[in-house]
Amino acid sequence: MKKLPDKTVERLSQYRRTLLIALSNGKHHIFSHELAAMLHITSVQVRRDIMLIGYSGTLRQGYDVKELTDIIGKIIDSKDGQKVAVIGIGNLGRAIIGYFSGKRTKLSIVAGFDLNPDKIDRVYAGVWCYHFDRMADIIQKENISIAVITVPASEATAVADKLILAGIKGILNFTPRPLNVPSNVYLEEYDIITSLEKLAYFVKKV
Amino acid sequence: MKKLPDKTVERLSQYRRTLLIALSNGKHHIFSHELAAMLHITSVQVRRDIMLIGYSGTLRQGYDVKELTDIIGKIIDSKDGQKVAVIGIGNLGRAIIGYFSGKRTKLSIVAGFDLNPDKIDRVYAGVWCYHFDRMADIIQKENISIAVITVPASEATAVADKLILAGIKGILNFTPRPLNVPSNVYLEEYDIITSLEKLAYFVKKV
């Protein structure tokens, strides 16, 4: 199967999350317009995405929640799951580790890295924190493919270079410093200042 | 001036962030293709956005970094700034407060809220943490227009309702629970699981 567009994958992940909430509320069938309303998008968009992955519901009942969840899982998840490292064990790094702890997902955080001696060789919500010097070593030994960068902006570029050399294939950059990565590395960036500035702009009285 | 599209505002915020980095590196002029490369977008996109705000560079030197930064500021920022509250003073809430601390921005975090008695009436990086019960009171008294929600998913809906009743006009939701807000409230949502699932999908060996 050809790789799906970026935005479709993002929405599939959101559909699954929403379907799981529905399922836990005892809902077994759902219409495209219900999914759409919960995610603030159009039902045309929902139907288009779900057709794209070769699934369809029935006119009378809509989608089977369990079936659709499983199909999305088969597309998004790797069979054996994927391992994630968190670089920078400050408040944000710890929040991310804590957030994943105990969640049933195909993604597992298996290592943390920091430079602060007080943090190294300690365990955070079940995740061991190593010194930066062990990055390449642990990433290769543990077969880690994804890294989350939560270090100060000034260190972001050096950390990313180190990660790429160590064989990391996906980077989620939480620093405000835009990164450059080779074309075989997938990059996601999130900066809270941008989100808040957008809010501020739309909230602003004209 | 008519409100700009959502995505344009997002990019203007990113341009400004990138321009400020350039300026701090002693760069006084920048070409659209340089800005584009730093942000992994096309130079056509950059030129279109910047034309939209009524600015243009010169063929020989490109944009004046300082001028463009100021113009973006005039569009995005409110003259007197805007006040932000953080709801939920866990690791993520503290990371956000710490991140803003000392940053020169027109957005200032002026209050935190939590339910945990150990956190209430304490100061985090200069920000006072109040009990949830004081939310409406403080939001009105301090004229807070934007709230960041970092509570557990199960509390997200109740917290959002409380915030909207208190007069909050913009919400940044960091919980995985999608929210419903009235049309006069602006909502941004971010879920790290979706970002990581996207990475995992593209990193996955086919």
pLDDT in tens, A179-197: 999 999 999 999 999 999 9
A200 shares contact with chain B (CB less than 8 Å) = yes
User: Which residues 138-167 of chain A have a CB within 8 Å of chain B?
Assistant: 145-146, 148
Is A198 in Cβ contact with B13 (below 8 Å)?
yes
Three-state DSSP class for residue B75? helix
A8 shares contact with chain B (CB less than 8 Å) = no
The pLDDT of residue B206 is above 60? no
From CA B88, how far away is CA B91, in angstroms rounded?
Answer: 9
Q: Which stretch of DSSP H or E encloses residue B149? A: strand B146-149
User: How sure is the predictor about A205, in pLDDT bands with cuts at 50, 70 and 90?
Assistant: low
Q: What is the structure's pLDDT at A1? A: 65
From CA A68, how far away is CA A48, in angstroms rounded?
Answer: 14
From CA A175, how far away is CA A163, in angstroms rounded?
Answer: 15
Q: Residues of A with CB below 8 A from B53's CB?
A: none
Is A192 in Cβ contact with B172 (below 8 Å)?
yes
Mutation choice for B interface testing from A99, A151, A157, A172 by most B CBs within 10 A: A99
Return the percentage of chain B with pLDDT > 70, whole number. 98
| Count of pairs with CB atoms under 8 A, one residue in A, one in B | 171
Nearest CB partner across the interface for B198, out of A13, A17, A148: A13
B86 backbone dihedrals φ, ψ, rounded to 5°: -110, 125
A20 shares contact with chain B (CB less than 8 Å) = no
Closest alpha carbon to A20 in A10, A35, A42, A2: A35
DSSP states along chain A: -PPPPHHHHHHHHHHHHHHHHHHHTT--EE-HHHHHHHHTS-HHHHHHHHHHTT---BTTTBEEHHHHHHHHHHHHS-TT-EEEEEE--SHHHHHHHHHHTT---SEEEEEEEES-TTTTT-EETTEEEEEGGGHHHHHHHHT--EEEE-S-HHHHHHHHHHHHHTT--EEEE-SSS-----TTSEEEE--HHHHHHHHHHHHS--
**Class of the CATH domain delimited by A6-76:** mainly alpha
The predicted complex's ipTM stands at 0.90
- The rounded Cα A78 to chain-centroid distance in angstroms is 14
Q: Average pLDDT for residues A142-166, to the nearest whole number?
A: 96
User: How sure is the predictor about B78, in pLDDT bands with cuts at 50, 70 and 90?
Assistant: confident
From CA B17, how far away is CA B25, in angstroms rounded?
Answer: 13
Q: What is the structure's pLDDT at B88? A: 98
For A82-193, CATH number? 3.40.50.720
Q: Residues of B with CB below 8 A from A157's CB?
A: none
A17 shares contact with chain B (CB less than 8 Å) = yes
Is A9 in Cβ contact with B99 (below 8 Å)?
no
Higher pLDDT: B79 or A16? It is A16
Three-state DSSP class for residue B192? helix
Among B40-54, B95-109, B147-161, the least confident range: B95-109
User: How sure is the predictor about A100, in pLDDT bands with cuts at 50, 70 and 90?
Assistant: confident
From CA B198, how far away is CA A107, in angstroms rounded?
Answer: 11
Q: Average pLDDT for residues B132-140, to the nearest whole number?
A: 97
pLDDT in tens, A42-97: 999 999 999 999 998 888 999 999 999 999 999 999 888 899 999 999 999 999 99
pLDDT in tens, B4-14: 988 999 999 99
Three-state DSSP class for residue B62? strand
- Our CA dihedral for A188, A105, B90, B195, rounded to 10 degrees, sits at 10
Three-state DSSP class for residue B82? strand
User: How sure is the predictor about B196, in pLDDT bands with cuts at 50, 70 and 90?
Assistant: very high
Which DSSP letter does residue B109 get?
A: E
From CA A109, how far away is CA A98, in angstroms rounded?
Answer: 10
Q: Average pLDDT for residues A146-152, to the nearest whole number?
A: 97
Give domain limits for chain B: 6-76, 82-193
Rounded to the nearest integer, the mean pLDDT of chain B is 93
User: How sure is the predictor about B103, in pLDDT bands with cuts at 50, 70 and 90?
Assistant: confident
From CA A96, how far away is CA A86, in angstroms rounded?
Answer: 8
- The rounded Cα A69 to chain-centroid distance in angstroms is 17
User: How sure is the predictor about A102, in pLDDT bands with cuts at 50, 70 and 90?
Assistant: confident
Mutation choice for B interface testing from A191, A204, A206 by most B CBs within 10 A: A204
